[in-house]
Structure 1
Amino acid sequence: MEWRKYYLDMMLVPVGFLVTVTYHVWLWHKTRTEPFSTTIGINAHARRFWVTAMLKDIEKKNILVAQSLRNLIMGSTLMATTSILLSAGLAAVISSTYSIKKPLDDVVYGAHSEFMVALKYVTLLTIFLFSFFCHTLSIRFLNQLSILICTPQDALSLVTPEYLTEILEKGTVLNTVGNRIFYSALPLLLWIFGPVLVFFCSIAMLPVFYNLDFVCGTVKPKINGNGTDFA
């Protein structure tokens, strides 16, 4: 390989991907240390009380529980279906003998050799497969929860509210991880047209992620006579 052909891809694409990874590591740290400053932490706090509230009067709220879990499962199913369809399309492109790089030679910055084109599609295929894997695991946990949450609660039951909360948390966390992996593939889709777009798209997505992940002011829980609430 000649450096003059690959230096843009070797510099801009890893930097753009590293920016996205660094942001999510920082988000994970903020969620662990200051959970009420992020929407992920607030939602996790609310889900723990949701399970307990539904179990208190499950006979009257069973339809609400079924609809809520169905919506979560449908969201994960949609993302899993999208990921596997994109993976199948990329696998078909990789295995095809048709050279798709020729029409793009004049508009692509950076390397566009056969090796680089194959690397782009294999990278996208791997990311979409990981997203599919996370979403299918999320569906598995949510389906399990939809059955166990309606089981009778007694002193000898192993299906406790804490156990159900843990299952719900695993399902929603896997759904979130699958979505973020899917979003990280969007800048890499532009890699087909060159590494410059990958870098700028990764930078442009940071303020979007920040506005979605963080609340305007830090929300602190307060204790009142009726239980725990948010200030």
Structure 2
Amino acid sequence: MEWRKCYLDVVLVPLGFLITTTYHVWLWYKVRTAPLTTTIGRNAHGRRFWVGAMLKDIDRRNILAVQTLRNMIMGSTLMAATSILISAGLGAVISSTYSVKKPLNDTIYGAHGELMVALKYVSLLTIFLFSFFCHSLSIRFLSQVSVLICIPGQDPMGPVTAEYLTELFEKGSFLNTAGNRLFYAAIPLLLWIFGPVLVFLCFAAMVPVLYNLDFICKCGKGGMHEKPNGEYV
């Protein structure tokens, strides 16, 4: 009987994960093949130019560069703090014997046995911990950039070059994006407490929202036209 109650959880939750995973695999493919059609690719392109522009006149733009990096670090710090606080709360719930781990009532679809309830909270905890890990590494790389960005102008022949700073900046930005995507994936799982149907609906609704945020609309007549390599003319 318990296994029959798990049918919806076994089918709908993995299907929701499959939908969002397929979308992100396709997004990664588009970023690699046609980067300028996506906001991620264009932002990465702009960041590479940003590092070069800051280094050309670092004596006058050092404050601007550090403040920009500080704002990015503050954003990653906020997300890291939120993730670890939620993880601590979930850890407290898992280790407790309170009735909060029990279903609200018996009318909620899906299984509510001890094993399934534990799986729900452990899955949430794992994703939030990985999100915290990505944001922590992002803070590390961005902090290194903020310290080293003034060095190339002082020592042009030194080991700290514009290419090295660009690589650090890209790693920090990528980890920040990965941490945010993991955080977004945990939001539908929060609804798993109320049943697997809401999880699937939330995953399905999240894909078109992310698509509108991740991809740049093509212009019509008189506007820019996309080339096969993703560039615009």
In the superposition, the TM-score normalised over structure 2's length comes to 0.92
Q: Which amino acid aligns with 1:173?
A: F
The residue aligned with 2:204 is 203
The residue aligned with 1:162 is 163
Q: Which amino acid aligns with 1:76?
A: S
In structure 2, relative to structure 1, the CA distance for the partners of 1:103 and 1:188 (3 Å cut) is: closer
How far residue 115 of structure 1 moved from its aligned partner, in angstroms, is 1.1
How far residue 125 of structure 1 moved from its aligned partner, in angstroms, is 0.1
The residue aligned with 1:114 is 114
CA contact (8 A) 1:145 1:164 kept: yes
CA–CA separation in structure 2 for the residues paired with 1:144 and 1:230? 34
Structure 2's unaligned 5+ residue stretches are none
Q: Work out whether 1:76 is the aligned partner of 2:79.
A: no
In structure 2, relative to structure 1, the CA distance for the partners of 1:221 and 1:11 (3 Å cut) is: closer
CA–CA separation in structure 1 for the residues paired with 2:140 and 2:91? 26
CA–CA separation in structure 2 for the residues paired with 1:144 and 1:75? 16
How far residue 34 of structure 1 moved from its aligned partner, in angstroms, is 0.4
The residue aligned with 2:17 is 17
CA contact (8 A) 1:36 1:220 kept: no
In the superposition, the TM-score normalised over structure 1's length comes to 0.93
Tell me the percent identity: 72
Query: Residues 55-88 of structure 1, C-alpha deviation per residue, up to 9 Å, x if partnerless?
Result: 0100100111011001100000000000000000
CA–CA separation in structure 1 for the residues paired with 2:103 and 2:14? 26
Structure 1's unaligned 5+ residue stretches are 223-228
The residue aligned with 1:213 is 214
CA–CA separation in structure 2 for the residues paired with 1:128 and 1:148? 30
Q: Which amino acid aligns with 2:20?
A: T
How far residue 230 of structure 1 moved from its aligned partner, in angstroms, is 6.7
The residue aligned with 1:96 is 96
How far residue 5 of structure 1 moved from its aligned partner, in angstroms, is 1.3
Q: Work out whether 1:46 is the aligned partner of 2:46.
A: yes
CA contact (8 A) 1:101 1:112 kept: no
Q: Which amino acid aligns with 1:62?
A: N
How far residue 152 of structure 1 moved from its aligned partner, in angstroms, is 4.2
Q: Which amino acid aligns with 2:130?
A: F
State the aligned residue count: 225
How far residue 98 of structure 1 moved from its aligned partner, in angstroms, is 1.3
Q: Which amino acid aligns with 1:159?
A: V
In structure 2, relative to structure 1, the CA distance for the partners of 1:190 and 1:125 (3 Å cut) is: same
User: What's the RMSD between the two structures over aligned residues?
Assistant: 1.9
CA–CA separation in structure 2 for the residues paired with 1:220 and 1:158? 41
CA contact (8 A) 1:109 1:194 kept: yes
In structure 2, relative to structure 1, the CA distance for the partners of 1:9 and 1:57 (3 Å cut) is: same
CA–CA separation in structure 1 for the residues paired with 2:44 and 2:152? 25
Q: Which amino acid aligns with 1:195?
A: P
CA contact (8 A) 2:218 2:226 kept: no
How far residue 151 of structure 1 moved from its aligned partner, in angstroms, is 1.1
CA–CA separation in structure 2 for the residues paired with 1:158 and 1:221? 39
In structure 2, relative to structure 1, the CA distance for the partners of 1:180 and 1:102 (3 Å cut) is: closer
SS of aligned partner of 1:104: coil
How far residue 101 of structure 1 moved from its aligned partner, in angstroms, is 4.1
CA contact (8 A) 1:108 1:192 kept: no
SS of aligned partner of 1:3: helix
The residue aligned with 1:193 is 194
CA–CA separation in structure 2 for the residues paired with 1:168 and 1:221? 28
